[in-house]
Amino acid sequence: MKQAIQNVLDQNPVNSSVTVTVSAVSKYDDYRIEIRHADTQQLIWRAWDFEKDFLTDLQCELANYSRE
């Protein structure tokens, strides 16, 4: 996994109500990250790392499910 993505995930731990996964990796080494409800697997958020403001958006989404 790309270090920048791993850093955001490490700095923003989430509670057990959601799962965060790498749902796809392209042949160009692009990563698609998904956040889903843990019990139903319903999609909450999904984005590719090449999208504009990806890391900022990921951090904001993770903050909604922080362990605090």
pLDDT confidence of residue 60: 97
pLDDT confidence of residue 67: 83
Q: What is the pTM of this model?
A: 0.92
Closest by CA position to 33, among listed 68, 58, 67: 58
pLDDT confidence of residue 17: 96
| Residue 58, burial from CB neighbour count under 10 angstroms (0-12, 13-18, 19+) | buried
